[in-house]
Amino acid sequence: MSAVLASRGLGDRLTGLFWRRPNLLLLLLISPPLIWLGLVYLGSLAALLVQSFYSIDEFSGVVVPEFTLRTYAELFNPANMDIIIRTLLMSASVTVGCAVLAFPIAYYAARFARGHWKAAFYLGVMLPLWSSYLVKVYAWKLILAKEGIIGWAAGATGTTPILEAVLAIPGIGGNSLSTSFLGTWMVFVYVWLPYMILPMQASLERVPVSMLEASADLGATRGQTFRTVTLPLALPGVIAGSIFTFSLTMGDYIIPQIIGTSARFIGQAVFQLQGTAGNIPLAAAFAVVPILIMLVYLALARRAGAFDAL
């Protein structure tokens, strides 16, 4: 009488192998995402970085694959500096605009909205995100046009002089809202606002009510409580939201193409330089600028504690 072990199938043998060598299983599981991250994601970034150190031949317009810093020096041309500064200013002001608008909304949603109202709030904030971005931007072009609804309403209420005075402000004004930086700013704020509200609301909800009560017990006024308790505790959420609005504005190339003065932003410059111009080195160098700015921004945000809750 002998005990016969059933011959083992492939599955059994694999289980045995993985049991004896757990690291092998780990390697198999994480290698696809690692390959994706390393090759596709970081690899394309590296290719971009390499391109930005090439330059374009002055005469033939052909890319010269030799390492040089000439292309980066070109970024400091007045016209290119204009683009970078313009984009930075727009991103910063859009972020501030979003923060100011989003705070009361997020505060209401976190502190006061209950039940159905809470659902309505989420729906209201998310709804614009579900419709096409392009449709929204084109709709705004019509709203802001010289003969659009805002111009019409101003005419009907006799406030046209106010609108004209606003449009006469040098730098941000223009012929109509849809052809001014002011219009570009309004549309940016509208489009990115949900990305500010949601993280803000999440962080406001995490502020413990007990602390607010303690603050009140210790004799702080509502204003003092807000300044010294609520705001510092909610700041990480504000910063997290600002990372979205800032980086999204910096990379966008569609809104300024449809609404605004046609003056270029970084995204548009990249699009145009790599496309018709064939000046890939300069396009790559331009694309590196937002990466650097965002790295600095993220470092500052980390110091302010935006990632503590991660």
Partner 1 sequence: MNTMKLMGTTTLALALAAGPVAAQVTALGEPEGQVNIVAWAGYIERGETMKEFDWVTKFEEASGCKVNVKTANTSDEMVALMNEGGFDLVTASGDASLRLIAGKRVQPINTDLIPSWNAVDDRLKDAPWHTVGGVHYGVPYMWGPNVLMYNTNVFKEPPTSWNVVFEEMTLGDGQSNKGRVQAYDGPIHIADAAQYLMFHKPELGITSPYELNEDQYKAALDLLRQQRELVSRYWHDAFIQMDDFKNEGVVASGTWPFQVNLLKSENQPVASVIPQEGATGWADTSMMHVDSANPTCAYLWMEHSLSSNLQSDLAVWFGANPSVPAACTDGRGMLTAEGCTTNGFDDFEKIRFWTTPTANCSQGEGACVPYYRWVSDYIGVIGGR
DSSP assigned state of 141:
H
Q: Does 250 bind partner 1 (CB under 8 A)?
A: no
The two three-digit tokens of residue 55, written as one number:
């330059």
The residue among 4 and 79 lying less far from partner 1, judged by its C-beta, is 79
The H-assigned helical ranges of the chain are: 10-20, 22-35, 43-52, 70-74, 78-111, 116-130, 133-144, 149-157, 160-167, 181-205, 209-217, 222-225, 231-251, 255-258, 266-274, 280-303
Determine the Cα–Cα distance for residues 57 and 63; give it in Å rounded to an integer: 6
Ranges within 167-186 binding partner 1 (CB under 8 A): 174-176, 178-179
Contacting partner 1 (CB under 8 A), which of 7, 60, 157, 210?
Answer: 60
Q: Does 93 bind partner 1 (CB under 8 A)?
A: no
Q: Does 153 bind partner 1 (CB under 8 A)?
A: no
Angle, to 10 degrees, between the axis of helix 181-205 and the axis of helix 133-144? 130
Q: Does 189 bind partner 1 (CB under 8 A)?
A: no
Contacting partner 1 (CB under 8 A), which of 6, 9, 32, 59?
Answer: 59
The residue among 239 and 280 lying less far from partner 1, judged by its C-beta, is 280
DSSP assigned state of 39:
I
Min dist. Cβ of residue 93 to partner 1 (A): 18
Determine the Cα–Cα distance for residues 85 and 88; give it in Å rounded to an integer: 5
The phi, psi pair for 147, rounded to 5°, reads -100, 25
Q: Does 275 bind partner 1 (CB under 8 A)?
A: yes
The residue among 277 and 309 lying less far from partner 1, judged by its C-beta, is 277
Q: Does 212 bind partner 1 (CB under 8 A)?
A: no
Ranges within 113-142 binding partner 1 (CB under 8 A): 141-142
Three-point CA angle 87, 89, 93, nearest 5°: 120
List residues binding partner 1 (CB under 8 A): 56, 58-61, 65, 77-80, 82-83, 86, 141-142, 145-148, 174-176, 178-179, 257-258, 260-264, 269, 272-273, 275-279, 282
